[in-house]
Amino acid sequence: MRIGYGLFFPRIPPIYNSAIETENGLTPTSIFLNRNNYYDRQIFPQYPYSLVNCTALAASCAPPTSLLQFAKSDISAFAHNFRTPEVHQVSVTVERELAHRVIAELSYSFVHGQNLIRPRDMNLPKPTEVQYPIYDSSGLNLLGYGSVETFSSWQFSSSLTCPFPPCINPLARSLPQLGSINVFESAASSVYHGGTISLKRQMTHGLYFRLGYTYAHAIDDGQDALVAGRPATVQNSYAASSERGNSVTDQRRRFVFSWISSLERSIMAKAGRGNFRRGGKLLELLRVAAAAQ
């Protein structure tokens, strides 16, 4: 029987430091245009022309005057009580030899993450519940109404800014001069439970194999979106607890079979006028894995 415990302090991903350096609120970092909006459509770029002209090696490009009203500056910062994330790991393993060099193994793993990073947009108004119409695939027959919590108001009548209602009006932020204000908090947590049963044959006469099955479950309350290039925020900054659920990395069942064969072979080589014999090894590797949610 083996019992182990470990406490780990993972590194802060560089993507968070990069976001803080670039999203400092000093320069506009994003422009949002709605092609269906009449006024936005007047300045919407037409192929092959670009919205902003930048040289090939330019470090940054300033938007033209006509776009300044659409440009927003974002801010990212660590929370005042930010702490380094920590991960607790516990494992218990029981082994028993069933036959000569054939071992059965039963193990349990528990992993608990604390103070995990969770970005929240603090420059959002409180969401309100809105009733929106539901139409069939033709768009002509009204099937009923649904309700959703939204940060922006909805428009149900046709206008220049909403030619095809219903439309979502521009977001009225608490600080309209800024875009998102992302605060990186040490508020998320995760729990992982995993049990594994396996059968393995230790290396004997050049042959090793392992057959294993794992059943596991991972739960967390961090943001679920996996966005490349920037940190993802929770969907509702006023109800961060609603993020709790199955982790995006949750892998419920996993089956693994691996096989290693090391075979002695004679290698004959001819050099000059004489022959010589030397020993060699041929290593064969095979690994098959299958997983399911």
Q: Is residue 130 domain-resident?
A: yes
Tokens representing residue 284 in the block: 């064969």
Q: Is residue 93 domain-resident?
A: no
Q: What is the pLDDT of residues 211-244, one digit of tens each?
A: 999 999 999 988 655 555 566 788 888 888 888 8
Q: What is the pLDDT of residues 172-193, one digit of tens each?
A: 888 888 888 999 999 999 999 9
DSSP 37: S
Contact 148, 42 (CB under 8 A): no
In terms of Cβ atoms closer than 10 Å to its own Cβ (0-12, 13-18, 19+), residue 40 is middle
Strands (E) in 159-273, as ranges, are: 167-168, 181-204, 207-220, 245-246, 253-271
- As for how many domains the chain has, the answer is 1
Closest CA to 123 of 186, 68, 178: 178
* Residue 149 CA from chain centroid, whole number: 24
Q: Is residue 147 domain-resident?
A: yes
Query: For the ranges 148-152, 246-250, 262-266, which has the lowest average pLDDT?
Result: 262-266
Q: Is residue 129 domain-resident?
A: yes
pTM > 0.85: yes or no: no
Instruction: Give the Cβ contact number of residue 116 at 10 Å.
Output: 19
Mean pLDDT of 26-31: 76
- Can you give the residue range of the structural domain that contains 131? 125-172
Contact 71, 52 (CB under 8 A): no
Q: Is residue 62 domain-resident?
A: no
Q: Is residue 52 domain-resident?
A: no
Q: What is the pLDDT of residues 56-109, one digit of tens each?
A: 777 777 777 777 777 888 899 999 999 999 999 999 999 998 888 889 999 999
Q: Is residue 146 domain-resident?
A: yes
Tokens representing residue 38 in the block: 């009449």
Structure confidence at residue 274 as a pLDDT band (50, 70, 90): very low
Q: What is the CA radius of gyration of the chain?
A: 29
Report the C-alpha gap between 180 and 231 in whole angstroms: 12
Contact 217, 193 (CB under 8 A): yes
Q: Is residue 137 domain-resident?
A: yes
